[in-house]
């Protein structure tokens, strides 16, 4: 896959995950975090289909695990509880393919391997996510939200990370308040940011999730293949 295809993909998200693997993301701690957050973002996009408390709780544990706020034992326990409910026939609560697939998302998001968790989101069929282009398009958009354009190395000037920018970005991340992304774009622009990819992403329709490449930069959380400019 090349840059043009990455930016235009609306299907075959699995190929995009393979591309990330070829670029080395699963081999770095930062890459593993972002792969896990992509998996969690898929679960969050299917939140309305996750009626059982143990499913939502497992997603929250996987989300904390990505940021080193939960340990491997807690992740394993969350996966075990979901499996116990699953194999006892108590999940999903309604007999629909969408809810079954959404519950499968949760099970896989708790995989001990971040790459397996991310890959599994693209392998579950039918995809429980939907928009006018179909669920695969949502997966592709979420991958771009988290990883940006892995074929480029955007530069974030430290001067853009003002106190206002940091406060906004931290609040957006912690509260998943993605409706504030355009406000963050305005704050970055006021700080001197003129990067069209960053600003258009923040002002775009989404979908967005934790791990968003621009929010990570604004928070000072350096994602794989992204770096700060001196100054």
Show which of 94, 124, 147 is a domain's final residue. Answer: 147
Q: Are residues 161 and 138 in the same domain?
A: no
pLDDT at 18: 94
pLDDT at 93: 67
| Coil, helix or strand at residue 155 | strand
Range of the domain at 195: 155-229
Q: Are residues 114 and 213 in the same domain?
A: no
Q: Are residues 15 and 125 in the same domain?
A: yes
For the segment 82-95, what is each residue's pLDDT rounded down to a tens digit? 999 988 888 876 66
Average pLDDT over residues 147-163: 91
Q: Are residues 137 and 174 in the same domain?
A: no
Q: Are residues 39 and 60 in the same domain?
A: yes
Q: 59 - beta bridge partners?
A: none
For the segment 103-151, what is each residue's pLDDT rounded down to a tens digit? 999 999 999 999 999 999 999 988 999 765 578 999 999 999 999 999 9
pTM for this predicted structure: 0.93
Show which of 90, 119, 147 is a domain's final residue. Answer: 147
Q: Are residues 164 and 130 in the same domain?
A: no
pLDDT at 169: 98
66 Cβ contact partners less than 8 Å away, ≥ 6 residues apart? 33, 36, 37, 40, 114, 210, 211
Structural domain total, the chain = 2
Higher-confidence position of 55 and 27: 55
Show which of 147, 169, 184 is a domain's final residue. Answer: 147
Q: Are residues 130 and 41 in the same domain?
A: yes
Q: Are residues 132 and 195 in the same domain?
A: no
- Cα 203 versus chain centre, distance: 17
Asked whether 82 and 91 are in contact (CB, 8 A), the reply is: yes
């Amino acid at each position: 896959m090349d840059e043009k295809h990455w930016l235009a993909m609306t299907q075959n998200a699995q190929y995009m995950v393979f591309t990330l693997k070829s670029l080395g993301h699963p081999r770095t701690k930062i890459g593993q975090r972002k792969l896990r957050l992509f998996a969690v973002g898929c679960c969050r996009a299917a939140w309305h289909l996750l009626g059982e408390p143990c499913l939502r709780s497992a997603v929250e544990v996987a989300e904390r695990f990505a940021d080193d706020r939960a340990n491997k034992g807690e992740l394993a326990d969350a996966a075990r509880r979901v499996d116990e409910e699953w194999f006892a026939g108590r999940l999903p609560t309604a007999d629909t393919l969408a809810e079954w697939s959404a519950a499968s998302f949760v099970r896989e998001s708790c995989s001990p391997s971040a790459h397996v968790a991310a890959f599994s989101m693209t392998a579950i069929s039918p995809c429980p996510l939907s928009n006018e282009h179909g669920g695969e398009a949502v997966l592709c958009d979420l991958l771009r939200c988290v990883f940006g354009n892995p074929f480029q190395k955007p530069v974030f000037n430290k001067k853009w990370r003002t106190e206002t920018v940091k406060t906004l970005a931290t609040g957006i991340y912690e509260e998943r308040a993605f409706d504030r992304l355009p406000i963050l774009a305005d704050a970055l622009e006021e700080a001197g940011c003129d990067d069209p990819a960053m600003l258009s992403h923040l002002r775009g329709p989404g979908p967005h999730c934790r791990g968003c490449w621009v929010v990570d930069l604004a928070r000072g959380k350096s994602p794989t293949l992204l770096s700060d400019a001196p100054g």
